A and B are shown apart, each in its own frame.
Chain A
Amino acid sequence: MTNTASSTHFIRARRGYTRRRTANAVMLVLTGLTTALALIPLFWIIGYVVYQGGQYLTPAFFTELPTPPGTEGGGVWNAIQGTILLVILAGLFALPPGLLAAFYAAYYPNTPLGIAVRFSTDVLAGVPSIVIGLFLYALVVVVQGHFSGLAGGIALAILMLPTIIRTTEEMLKLVPPSLREASLALGAPEWKTSLQVVLPAAGNGLITGFLLGLARASGETAPLLFTALGNEWFDFRSLIRSGLESGMNPLEILVRIIEQPVDSLPLTLWKYAQQPYPERIHQAWAAALVLMAFVLAVNIFARLWILFRARRMKG
C-alpha cells in the first residue's frame, strides 16, 4: 500500500468492516434480548400464582363444596369433580374417532380424504374455542333443552381432536413399516395388525399426545360458558345416593350425572375473579395454582417422555 488512493480505500474498507461487525454484534445481542423479554411473563406469572395461590390452598379447598359468597371457608370440590367428569367425557369422545382418523391419515396421506383430514385437522386447531362452544350450544344444549356436562365434554373433545390426530399420525409414521408388514405377512388382518401390533409399538407417544390434549382441554373456559355452564352443588356422591334412593339403575344414574350442568376449575376461576368478595378472589388464586400446576406438570412430563424415547430410539 504505497499510493494514497489505495490506502484511503483500505481505511474505508476497514471502517466499513468495523461497522458491519458492530451491527452484527448489536443485532445478535438484540435477538437474545427478545428471547429473554418473552420469558419474563412466564416466570412472573408462575411466580406470582405460586405465591398467591400457595397462601390460600387449604385441604378444604379440595374437599368441600362452595359456601355462600362473602363467607369464609368452603372449597371447589364441585369444580374438581366437574373437571374430572368433563375431561373423562372429552377423552372418551375424542379418542376413538381421533385414532381412527389418524390411522387413515397416516396410511393414506395422499388420497383426497387423507389430505382433507390433515388439512381440516390443522385448521380445526385454529378455530376459536368460543366458536366451538356456540356450535355445541346449537347441537346439544338447544336439542336437550338444558345445559349439561355432556355438551361441555363434547366441546372439549373437539378441542382435543387436532392434538390427538396430529400426534397419533406422527407416532404411527415412526413405527417401522417392517413390523406392520411382518404381521400382515403372517396373515393377520389389517385391523388386528393396526390395533395389536402398530398401536402398542406407538403406544408411549400416543399416551403423551393424549395427555397433552387432556391438559389443553382441562384449562379451557370459553367453550364451557354456555355448555357446561357451572353448578355449585355438583357432587357425585349426593347424585349417586339420591339416584339409588329413588331406585334408578347405574346406567340411569350415569345419564343423570352427565345431564347435569357442571362446574370446572377454569370456569370457577373466571367467575370468582369477577366477584367483589376477597374470599372468592383468594380461591380464584388457589384454583389458578392447581390448574397451572396440573397443565405445566403434564406438559413437562410429556416432553421429557418424548425426549427420553427419542434418545433411546437413536441408541
Chain B
Amino acid sequence: MKAQTVPPNTMQRLRRNIGKALHHGDRIWQWLTIGAGIGVALLLLGIGWMLWRDSADARSAFGLGFLAPTADASWNPVLDKFEAWPFIYGTLITSAVALLLAIPISVGIGIFLAELCPSWLRLPLGWMLELLAAIPSVVFGLWGIFVFLPEVVEPLGTFLAGTLGLLPGIGALFAGPIPASGASRLAAALILTIMIVPTISAVTRDVFLAIPRSQREAAYALGATEWETISQVLVPYGLSGVLGAVILGLGRALGETMAVTMVIGNSIGGAVSLLRPGYTMSSIIANEFAEAVSRLHSQALIEIGFLLFIVTLLVNMAARFLVWRVARRTPQEGRA
C-alpha cells in the first residue's frame, strides 16, 4: 500500500462506477434504440404538423370552399385565388377507375399464384410482378408518353367516345374527343392500373396462402370443383384481407405522382370526362411548387399536400388493420 498507487485506484474505481451506472454501455444502447423508435413513430406526426403549420394562411384565406366541388374552379396565382376541386376530382376519378380495372385482374392473379399455378412457376411469376412494381415511376411516364399514349390510349379513347360516349348519363364520363396526344385522365387511370396491380396481387396471394388447408379439403370433400372452392370458400374466408390489399392499392394510386403527371395532360378544364386532360393533387404539387412565388400559392399547394397525406394515412391504416386481422386469425392451424 504505497501512496503512489492511490491515483490509478481512483481512476479504476471511477471507470468501474461509470461502467456500472451505464450497465457497461447498455444504458446508452437502450436510449439509442428507444430514441430511434420514438423518432420513427414521431416522424408521421412531424410530417403532418409541418404541413398543417405551413398551410395556415391558405386555410384561413380560403376556408372549406377550397375543397368544395365547383364547375368552374379558379386556380389563379396572379389574383391569388385558389380552389382545389379540379385536382381532387382528378385524383378521385383516376384512382377509382384504376381500382375498378385492377381489382378483377389482381384478384385473378392472386388466386392463380396461390391456388392454381404449378409450384415451379409461382416464384418466377411473383418475382416478375415485383419487378413491375420496382420500375421507377418516371420510366413508366416516359414509356407512357411515347408508347402507351399513342398506341393504346388514343385508339381506345376514340373508340370509347364513339360508343359509351353516346349513351345518356354516363356518356358524360366518356365525352370526346380525346386529344391527339392521348394525354388524358383515362391515360393516367390506365397507367395507375398497371402500377397498382403488383401491389394488390402480391397481398392477395399472401392472404390466400395464409388460409388453412382444412378449408380447401372440406370443400373438396363436399364435391366442390376448384373454382367453387375458391369462390365460395376461400374468397369469403379471406375477404377482409383482399379488401385490405385493394385499399393498399388505392393508397398507392392516390399518391402516385410522376407517371401520372407525365400522361394526364395537366389541364384545369371544367369537363368531367375521362377522355379529357386533367390534373391530380400530386401532379399540381409536382408541377408548380418549385415555381410558386406568392405565399398563398405555395401554401395552397401545401394544403393539397396535407390533404393527400391525411387521406393516404387513413387509407393505409385501414388497409394494415384489415390485412393484420386476417394474419392474426389464421396462424393456429397453419397450412401443412
- Give the interface of A toward B (CB within 8 A): 20-21, 23-24, 27-28, 30-35, 37-39, 41-42, 44-45, 48-49, 96-101, 103-105, 113-114, 116-117, 119-132, 134-135, 137-139, 158, 161, 165, 189-192, 194, 215-216, 219-222, 225-226, 229, 266, 269-270, 273-274, 281, 284-285, 288, 291-292, 295-296, 299-300, 303, 307
The reply to whether A225 and B286 form a contact with Cβ atoms under 8 Å apart is: yes
A-B contact pairs, 13 of them (CB 8 A): A28-B116, A31-B109, A34-B109, A41-B194, A42-B135, A100-B33, A103-B33, A122-B320, A127-B309, A128-B254, A135-B46, A266-B258, A273-B145
Of A45, A129, A130, most buried by chain B (CB within 10 Å of CB) is A130
Cα-based distance from A270 to B283 in the complex (angstroms): 13
Cα-based distance from A292 to B46 in the complex (angstroms): 33
The reply to whether A32 and B320 form a contact with Cβ atoms under 8 Å apart is: no
Cα-based distance from A277 to B38 in the complex (angstroms): 49
The reply to whether B112 and A31 form a contact with Cβ atoms under 8 Å apart is: yes
Cα-based distance from A273 to B106 in the complex (angstroms): 30
Cα-based distance from A270 to B140 in the complex (angstroms): 11
The reply to whether A38 and B197 form a contact with Cβ atoms under 8 Å apart is: yes
- Give the interface of B toward A (CB within 8 A): 23-26, 28-30, 32-41, 43-44, 46-47, 50-51, 53-54, 104-106, 108-109, 111-113, 116-117, 123, 125, 127-132, 134-143, 145-147, 194, 197-198, 201, 225-228, 230-231, 248, 251-252, 254-258, 262, 282, 285-286, 289-290, 301-302, 305, 308-309, 312-313, 315-317, 319-320
Q: Which residues of B contact A44 (CB under 8 A)?
A: 143, 147
Q: Which residues of A contact B34 (CB under 8 A)?
A: 104, 113
Determine the main DSSP class of A at the interface with B.
helix
Cα-based distance from A292 to B141 in the complex (angstroms): 13
Q: Which residues of B contact A285 (CB under 8 A)?
A: 142
Q: Which residues of A contact B135 (CB under 8 A)?
A: 42, 45, 219, 292, 295-296
Given contacts A38-B198, A158-B43, A216-B134, whether A131 and B51 have CB atoms under 8 Å apart is yes
The reply to whether B43 and A120 form a contact with Cβ atoms under 8 Å apart is: yes
The reply to whether A113 and B37 form a contact with Cβ atoms under 8 Å apart is: yes
**Residue of A at shortest CB range from B134?**
A299
Q: Name the contact of A292 in the complex, choosing from B128, B139, B309 (C-beta under 8 A).
A: B139
Q: Which residues of B contact A103 (CB under 8 A)?
A: 33
The reply to whether B37 and A189 form a contact with Cβ atoms under 8 Å apart is: no
Cα-based distance from A248 to B107 in the complex (angstroms): 60
Given contacts A35-B112, A194-B29, A269-B142, whether A222 and B51 have CB atoms under 8 Å apart is no
Cα-based distance from A134 to B292 in the complex (angstroms): 13
**Residue of A at shortest CB range from B307?**
A131
Cα-based distance from A31 to B230 in the complex (angstroms): 11
The reply to whether B252 and A126 form a contact with Cβ atoms under 8 Å apart is: yes
